[in-house]
Amino acid sequence: GLEEAPLKPVQDAGSILMQGYLEKRSREHSFFGSEWQKRWCVLNRRTFYYYANEKSKHPKGTFSIENYSARLAFHLRKDSRKRCCFELICPGKRTYE
């Protein structure tokens, strides 16, 4: 499940370090494998939020980035987007692709 913070919007726009669309791999597997979902993502100093789109008032998910690190992961895709794939990883917690 989702960790740490309750699902709520980012209140202080001044605390936003980066925001924009990313494709996030779903945890659910379909007949065709994992699906990539386009999400509006917001990163502040402590938390990563993801929304259905930039107009959404409440996030679909949120997690504390404390102890997470990022690494390139070209193996995640076989199409032209493979050069910009990365994972957010933390021992003992969900990996976000």
The domain segmentation of the chain, as residue ranges, is 15-25+34-89
Residue 4 has a pLDDT of 46
| The two structure tokens encoding residue 3 | 């960790």
Residue 81 has a pLDDT of 75
Residue 83 has a pLDDT of 82
- Strand 69-72 relative to strand 86-89, pairing: antiparallel
| The two structure tokens encoding residue 49 | 């939020």
Residue 59 has a pLDDT of 94
- Residue with token string 């502040």: 44
Written out in words, the top-level CATH class of the domain with range 15-25+34-89 is: mainly beta
Task: Give the DSSP per-residue string, 23-87.
Answer: EEEEEEEETTEEEEEEEEEEEESSEEEEESSTT-SS-SEEEE-TT-EEEE-GGG-SSGGGGG-EE
Residue-wise pLDDT tens digits, 37-90: 999 999 999 999 999 999 999 999 999 999 999 999 988 888 877 788 999 999
pTM attached to this predicted model: 0.77
